[in-house]
Amino acid sequence: MKFTKSINQADVKKDWIVVDATDKVFGRLVTEIAAILRGKHKPSFTPNVDCGDNVIVINATKVKFTGTKLADKNYYSHSGYFGSTKTHKMSDMLANNPEKLFRLATRGMLPKTKLGAKILKNLKVYSGSEHPHTAQVQG
């Protein structure tokens, strides 16, 4: 009988993957990023271990949106106090803080546990084409 080997945190080999978001559809790009962060592309995938790779997204402001999402879609934040709901348009978030936009979209595709929060820390998003992780990517 052959058994599938479940890996633990000590056995995980993490790579650094650079993704260029120029002219890619936002939702499709984020689903690919979430799968890489989770480690689903590896044959040694284990659901209860952070076995995914680190992802660097560059040119985040040059991503494309289909339909009228850029004008119509809103993100809401609430502190818990009465009347504290804030609305943020997607177009404003893309212009001012694309890192938060990518992080919110990716977070919704990851597990809603401590493991999901840990996995999300492996995502780095930059609005320009430069990033400070050149040493990790080359090595």
Residue bearing tokens 């271990």: 49
**Predicted confidence (pLDDT) at residue 139 exceeds the cutoff of 70:** no
Percent of the chain topping pLDDT 70: 98
Query: 120: part of which helix (H) or strand (E)?
Result: helix 114-120
pLDDT band, residue 138 (cuts 50/70/90)? low
CB distance 98 to 60 below 8 Å: yes
Query: CA-to-CA distance for 50 and 38, rounded, in angstroms?
Result: 7
Q: Which CATH architecture has domain 14-138?
A: Alpha-Beta Complex (3.90)
The domains of the chain are located at 14-138
Q: What is the mean pLDDT of residues 100-119?
A: 96
Query: CA-to-CA distance for 9 and 62, rounded, in angstroms?
Result: 35
CB distance 76 to 87 below 8 Å: yes
pTM of the model: 0.89
